[in-house]
Amino acid sequence: MTTTTEFKAWRVQEQDGDYVGSEQGLSTADLPENEVLIKVSHSSLNYKDALSASGNKGVTRNFPHTPGIDAAGEVVESSTGEPAVGSSVLVTGYDLGMNTAGGFGEYIRVPAAWCVTMPEGWDGRTAMIYGTAGLTAGLCVQKLLTMGARPDQGKVAVSGASGAVGSVAVELLAKLGFDVVAISGKKDHADGLKALGASEVVGRDALAAEKKPMLKPTYANAVDTVGGQPLAELLKQIQPGGSVSCCGLVAGPQLETTVLPFIIRGVNLLGVDSVEIPLTEKAAVWKKFAGEWACPKAEATARDIGRGQLDGALKAFLKGESSGKIVLDHSL
Ligand code: NDP
């Protein structure tokens, strides 16, 4: 028999054309019809959550809404039997937190096909330190490796390096033996980025707009988390045959480039989506992060916040001031 449980959620509603988030009391009867009810212990903060919370209709059409594109917790009801009641799961992407109530609530109800069994040795907090951002960093690195990227080819650049995706990408690439150049707009994060494994930290002006159609081939490969003009400049600086994994748009969704990096140097621009890919692909990357791809430094520097601190933390994302991984702990 289905029981109804009262719970707390951080909900965003429209007020006189503005979007305001606050803690509200809800019931599991308010959640959408779906196969699996999960008691969420932790969620993770992402740029997309900040867009949803600011009323971006490209992310969330209808308000009031509970953001949170990531969630980890325990299955309390399962109409399909798999995942089983009592098991620990994590959910990232698909429609969670976009138009389906997300992990900023203490309960979510989602399709069974969205649930990944918690990797062995992990708890909800560890999973959410990585979250969608970590998964995306892993997918970016995996695409470079699939294209044949090797440490002996030369430096690999990571843009938006102090961000949630960038910081995991820096640590993972360094761990795999790459010589990582972190590109960051935050001067005061240089030591932190070196501690994650970057051999060099350069300012965002390394990707400032240049009139020249091609530049010195400085990097063998790159992970770009910012898009826009900086990505266009990065493409001009990639060595022949190199690749750039592209996942983000904090510097803008437009990409104004010539075809020259592609046809003169054979550069590969690799698109990365962590949201709609098959669950098996997500599970394979999670398994790696729980094993040989573990990023203990990113884990150690993650910050935990409660629902009461969500507002400020999400606004920092929109201003480009966020750094590292932030975990929402529903028990705080
Ligand atoms: P964060 O806000 O944590 O990090 C982004 C970083 O980019 C900032 O910390 C800053 O780093 C840099 N930055 C911010 N604004 C600008 C700007 N105007 N110009 C240049 N650099 C800027 O975001 P995430 O790491 O969580 O996400 C990064 C991007 O990846 C976002 O666009 C997000 O939507 C996208 N994403 C895509 C996914 C996918 O599946 N494709 C999944 C997850 C995220 P610094 O100060 O070090 O330069």
pLDDT in tens, 45-71: 999 999 999 999 999 999 999 999 999
Q: 97: how many CB neighbours lie within 10 A of its CB?
A: 31
DSSP conformational letter for 41: E
> What whole-number distance in Å separates Cα of residue 268 and Cα of residue 307?
41
Say which CATH topology domain 133-271 has: Rossmann fold (3.40.50)
Residue 13 burial (10 A CB sphere; 0-12, 13-18, 19+): middle
Where residue 260 falls among pLDDT bands split at 50, 70, 90? very high
Dihedral angle sign, alpha carbons of residues 56, 61, 63, 65: negative
User: Where does CATH 3.90.180.10 sit in the chain?
Assistant: 6-118+302-329
Question: How confident is the model at residue 1, as a pLDDT?
Answer: 56
Q: If you measure from the C-alpha of residue 280 to the centroid of ligand 1, how many angstroms do you get, rounded to a whole number? A: 25
Q: Tokens for 312?
A: 């400020």
In the predicted model, is pLDDT for residue 37 greater than 80?
yes
pLDDT in tens, 124-178: 999 999 999 999 999 999 999 999 999 999 999 999 999 989 999 999 999 999 9
Nearest CA owner, ligand 1 atom 3: 163
> What whole-number distance in Å separates Cα of residue 15 and Cα of residue 225?
32
User: Where does CATH 3.40.50.720 sit in the chain?
Assistant: 133-271
Answer yes or no: are the C-beta atoms of 40 and 131 closer than 8 Å.
no
Nearest CA owner, ligand 1 atom 10: 160
DSSP conformational letter for 222: E
Q: What is the pTM of this model?
A: 0.95
In the predicted model, is pLDDT for residue 3 greater than 90?
no
CATH no., domain 6-118+302-329: 3.90.180.10
Q: If you measure from the C-alpha of residue 33 to the centroid of ligand 1, how many angstroms do you get, rounded to a whole number? A: 33
Q: Tokens for 253?
A: 């969704």
Q: If you measure from the C-alpha of residue 244 to the centroid of ligand 1, how many angstroms do you get, rounded to a whole number? A: 15
The number of residues in the chain equals: 332
Pairing of strands 18-27, 70-78: unpaired
Percent of the chain with pLDDT over 90: 94
> What whole-number distance in Å separates Cα of residue 322 and Cα of residue 238?
27
